[in-house]
Structure 1
Amino acid sequence: MVVTEELADELPVEAVEAAKSRAATLLLAFRHGNQLAFDQELDLLFEEQAEREVSTLLVWIAAEAVRKAYAPAVGDRVLRALARRAPSDTAAVMVDENTADAARLLEAVGAGDVAAVRAVVASTADTTYLLGGLLQAVAMMLPLLPEGEAEEIAAELRRRHAGRTAHVPEARHPRPSDR
């Protein structure tokens, strides 16, 4: 049996797990470029003055990632290169799949509720899941489009992707009601 003692300045195990979760949220927001979620989480940390704990855990997470990805000598070179390239402003920046509420986002967009849209985006650090939910919603809506509309949308997207800005008249597909 292993006996451990908690030091005076040491975080209790529950606090460590909570801080790991917050650190992961912060890292995902940064990785996926969700500035709103990153800023919101950072503001909460500053209010609670938990920066030291989360900073320690971010360093631990980064050290573990480097340890698993690189041999020790290579890992040190990678870290040195990162330190040399560190931007002067590091405030710019996503969490868990369960927080990505695409349905709530869709409802907020439908209602024209800009504040609700911002709240959904800010509360979803890992926007990859949110975008996945939106993609699923679009796929579910496609069969509801009138015949030919999906093809017209695809043609417009292809034109935009190709960089053409001029409007090109399209051949319209007859709708069932036009036949």
Structure 2
Amino acid sequence: MVVTRELADELPAEAVDVAKARAATLLLAFRHGNQLAFDRELERLLADQAEQEVTTLLVWIAAEAVRKAYAPEVGDRVLRGLARLAPVDTSGVAVDEELVDVAELVEAVDAGDVGTVRSLVASTPDTTFLVGGLLQAVAMMLPFLPDGELGEITAELRHRHGCRSIPRQA
């Protein structure tokens, strides 16, 4: 039997769990390229610039480790499990599909409410579900477009973003 004892300056076990959950939240935001959520969570945790740089490097290393060790869907499950370890009052970022409100995002875009759009994007580091829900919403709206409108929209998008049409293979 191994006996451990807490050192005077050591974090209590529950504080370690909270730190692990926050690190997982940072890693999830980093993994999904959500810079707003990553920056917001990092600013909440740290004030010193040197610590931010070290934390960013450690998150990058951890992201590489998760990418190499797990299949993408397994890695995400591991990270979500870690993020859920924090008590409810310390885990402020939604990571589950059920918590993503795509309808609110669509309404905010329609209203031109940039602040709400930014807030919704920043509050979910796992943007996979948010983007997937938005794609589903667009797909549901497509049948209601007048004939020819979809072609005009896609042509405008290609023009704006410099994309060229790629022929489909039959």
Normalising by the residue count of structure 2, what TM-score does the alignment of the two structures yield? 0.58
The answer (yes or no) to whether the contact 1:108–1:116 under 8 Å persists in 2 is yes
Measure, in 1, the Cα distance between the counterparts of 2:100 and 2:119: 11
Q: Which residue of 1 aligns with 2:95?
A: 96
Corresponding residue of 2:33:
33
Give the drift of 1:154. 4.9
Q: 2:112 and 2:121 mapped to 1: Cα distance?
A: 15
Residue matched to 2:117: 117
CA-CA distance at 1:153 after TM superposition:
4.1
Give the 3 Å change call, closer, same or farther, for CA 108–64 of structure 1 in structure 2.
closer
How far apart are residue 44 of structure 1 and its match? 0.4
Unpaired runs of 5+ residues, structure 1, are 70-93, 164-179
Q: Percent of counterpart pairs with the same letter?
A: 69
Contact kept, 8 Å, 1:32 with 1:127, in 2: the verdict is yes
Q: Does 1:7 align with 2:24?
A: no
The count of aligned residue pairs is 132
Larger Rg: 1
State the shift of 1:6 in Å. Answer: 3.2
Give the Cα separation in 2 of the matches to 1:19 and 1:7.
18
Specify whether residues 33 and 95 from structure 1 end up closer, same or farther in structure 2 by C-alpha distance, changes over 3 A only: farther
Give the C-alpha shift of residue 103 in structure 1: 1.9
2:45 alignment partner in structure 1: 45
Structure 1 residues 158 and 115: alpha-carbon distance in aligned structure 2, compared to 1, 3 A threshold: closer
Q: Runs of 4+ in structure 1 displaced over 6 angstroms? A: none
Structure 2's unaligned 5+ residue stretches are 70-92, 166-170
- 1:57-136 matches, cutoff 5 A: 62=62, 65=65, 69=69, 96-98=95-97, 99-136=99-136
| Change beyond 3 A, Cα 1:63–1:111 | closer
